[in-house]
Amino acid sequence: MQMADWSLLDNECDITVFHDHVASEDTVIERLKPFDVVCVMRERTPLTRNVLLNLTRLKLIVSTGARNASIDARTVEELGITLKHTHYVENGAPELTWALLMALARKLGAEFDNMRTGGWQTTVGVDLVGKTIGLIGLGRIGSKMATYARAFGMNVIAWSPHLTEERAEVAGATLVSKAELFSRADFVSVHLVLSDSTRKIVGKADLLRMKASAFFINTSRGPLVDEEALAEILRDHKIAGAALDVYSEEPLPDQHPFRKLQHVLATAHIGYVTENTYHVFYGDTVRAIHEWLQNS
């Protein structure tokens, strides 16, 4: 409520805010049944066909971001519901990714713990200059990562299913095969859109190619990676560590190994969670509701 001026809607509608996540479709339906307008955070609360068919009052959905794969768009159209999206700020995700990469390199998790528990320095950090970063995907976010890496004196290699040498060169990267990327890179960072063709595109065989000194980073989507294989490889110390912001199940279950393994830095899907992004999300949301009400 602090991220936009909701007073524009004061005389037009009553606003209810839910601060907790619920996974049960029945609970989602029960919560949202009374509302004509529903505003959702992209992919946090799936609006499936079953949910939509049971929200008989629903007339408008406003979703943050330019797309939301968790909304059944065909059913939305079938039911005559209006669907609007907000704009997006693109710097949040690559900035967090780079922060996680540097935290891995300098063992910040362990050193933070040392200070909290009365200890002192116990680790030796990794230099970035001269190291190689392997980018799985070289779109808008992957290209920003390439720029950051070059600024730190790193070598940049990249692969994705449809990446060309020309596009890689424009981004300041060298196109390599998938196998070469995993075997050469000191840091592997994933930046792909999730689809049927990219689900588990990073598998156990890929992860086993990584050097024992290498780090794995995923701030894109959890299902892009075989998480069971990654957890096993981390437990067996076959790579130096991982930084993760996304998971196949969110929120991540309390007892999940990614919450427990010492050489994993895990954050709660906060890549896009910045002040500027939220101002855009909720400012656009208010305007979308206002415009829809004026035209209804």
- d(CA 175, CA 4) in angstroms, rounded, equals 43
Q: What is the pLDDT of residue 237?
A: 97
| pLDDT confidence tier of residue 263, bands split at 50, 70 and 90 | very high
CA separation for the pair 294, 292 (Å, rounded): 5
The pLDDT assigned to 296 comes to 84
Q: Which two tokens stand for residue 142?
A: 């992957």
Instruction: Count CB neighbours of 213 within 10 A.
Output: 11
| Selected catalytic residue, list 250, 256, 279, 290 | 250
Task: With H, G, I as helix, E, B as strand and everything else as coil, classify residue 254.
Answer: coil
Percentage, residues of the chain above pLDDT 90: 96
**How far lies 229's CA from each of 31, 191, 224, in Å?**
37, 19, 12
Write the pLDDT tens digit of every residue in 98-154. 999 999 999 999 999 999 999 999 999 999 999 999 999 999 999 999 999 999 999
* pLDDT score of 42 more than 90: no
The reply to whether 209 belongs to the active site is no
pLDDT band, very low/low/confident/very high, at 221 (cuts 50, 70, 90): very high
**Catalytic, out of 43, 85, 221, 227:** 221
pLDDT tens by residue, 273-291: 999 999 999 999 999 999 9
CA distance 15 to 17: 7
Burial class of residue 187 (count of CB atoms within 10 Å of its CB; 0-12, 13-18, 19+) = buried
Count of residues making up the chain:
296
How confident is the model over 27-41, as a mean pLDDT?
A: 97
Residues 152-202: tens digit of each pLDDT: 999 999 999 999 999 999 999 999 999 999 999 999 999 999 999 999 999
What is the token pair recorded at 165? 């040498």
pLDDT of residue 2: 95
Mean pLDDT of 39-56: 94
* Known catalytic residue at 74: no
pLDDT exceeds 90 at position 8: yes
Using the predicted structure, report yes or no on whether residue 85 has a pLDDT greater than 90.
Answer: yes
Cα separations in angstroms, 121 against 105, 107, 237:
15, 10, 22
Binned at pLDDT 50, 70 and 90, residue 292 comes out as very high
Q: How far from the centroid of its chain's Cα atoms is residue 261's Cα? A: 20
Question: Rounded to the nearest 5°, which phi and psi values hold at 262?
Answer: -70, -30
* Mean pLDDT, rounded, for 91-100: 97
What three-state secondary structure class fits 175?
strand
Return the SS3 of 62: strand
Domains defined for the chain, CATH in brackets:
6-89+275-295 (3.40.50.720), 92-266 (3.40.50.720)
User: Which residues are within 8 A (CB) of 124 and not within 5 positions of it... i.e. 6 or more apart?
Assistant: 107
Q: Where are the alpha helices (DSSP H) in 55-210?
A: 73-78, 92-105, 108-116, 140-151, 165-170, 178-184, 204-208
pLDDT at 271: 96
First to last CA, the chain: 24
Q: What is the pLDDT of residue 44?
A: 87
Phi, psi of 186 (to 5 degrees): -85, -25
Give me the pLDDT at residue 38, please.
98
Task: Detail the DSSP E strand segments found in 14-115.
Answer: 37-40, 60-63, 82-85
Task: Tell me what pLDDT residue 141 has.
Answer: 96
221 is a catalytic site residue: yes
**How far is Cα 173 from Cα 143, in angstroms, rounded to an integer?**
9
Write down the pLDDT at residue 43: 81
